[in-house]
Amino acid sequence: CGCAMSSLPLFQVDAFSAKPFAGNPAAVCLVPESEPLSTEKMQQIAAEMNLSETAFVQGKDFEKDCKFGLRWFTPTNEVPLCGHATMASAATLMYEVGNKSPEITFSTLSGDLIVKRDQDFIAMDLPLMTPEAVTQDAFADVVRVACDGLPVERCALSKEARKLLVHLAPSVTRAQLEMLKPDTEALRQTHTQDVIRGVIVTVAGAASDNLDFVSRYFAPWNGIPEDPVTGSAHAVLAGYWAELLGKDTLFARQCSKRGGNVRVRLLGNMRVEVAGPATVVLRGQLVV
């Protein structure tokens, strides 16, 4: 066509995993401030990447600065908060670009998010979104489809995260949670009021696994039937389980097929640290 094509650095990172091909993959695109992308172009790129999230890191000097803009897109829409793609963005700057800052601040739709190195982990400071108890009847159809017959202990709703937490009965095992196969398209159709955009199904962890709780997360309303490992869901889970178990630091696993381990720590002041490892699996150039 005779038009000049520009290219941008593009990476794919498996967040919440110390090895490739596990955890939650996110694409990370580095966008220089001098060559901004339109919202429409970002959405097109996210659809092309076709991962649960594509993150766009905006900045001047990716190697030396410690503050960057950050936006997140699913293949269908922009989202106000995404934990795993924030972790992936920090991993890209720290491990690939060589940014030596002990902490990086991302300016986002959810305010400033601070990410720190913590030995082999990347630790994110996220808003704590402790859910409030609701009756099962309030979302009866959602709970019925999400749990597919498994008994439920109680439900809680985080209005700001738009996530429904469903705590399964103590009799339910981790193996049963892992075998759960809800019809996610039917799940999406059970709720059209836009009060919730995702369902967390959780149960207590086993001491033998050194886990305080385990969970799965279904978000068909955001075009994600099941998310492998979800930082923002743990911002909801952390306050819920901390209150139940009476502890500030908890170890968790999201039991999707890919799976990932997460450490959460309540920081006070309505903040929570969500931490885990991250592995870069792809580096290249995006031609736009």
Query: Residue 238: enclosing H or E segment and its boundaries?
Result: helix 231-245
Find, among 125, 107, 108, the residue nearest to 116 by Cα: 125
| Under 8 Å between Cβ of 37 and 64 | no
Distance CA 181, CA 1 (A): 48
CA distances from 199 to 14, 167, 184, 228 (A): 22, 11, 10, 13
Distance CA 215, CA 222 (A): 18
Catalytic residue numbers?
Answer: 53
Q: What is the distance of C-alpha 55 from the center of its chain?
A: 12
| Under 8 Å between Cβ of 111 and 69 | no
Residue 39: count of CB within 10 angstroms of its CB: 11
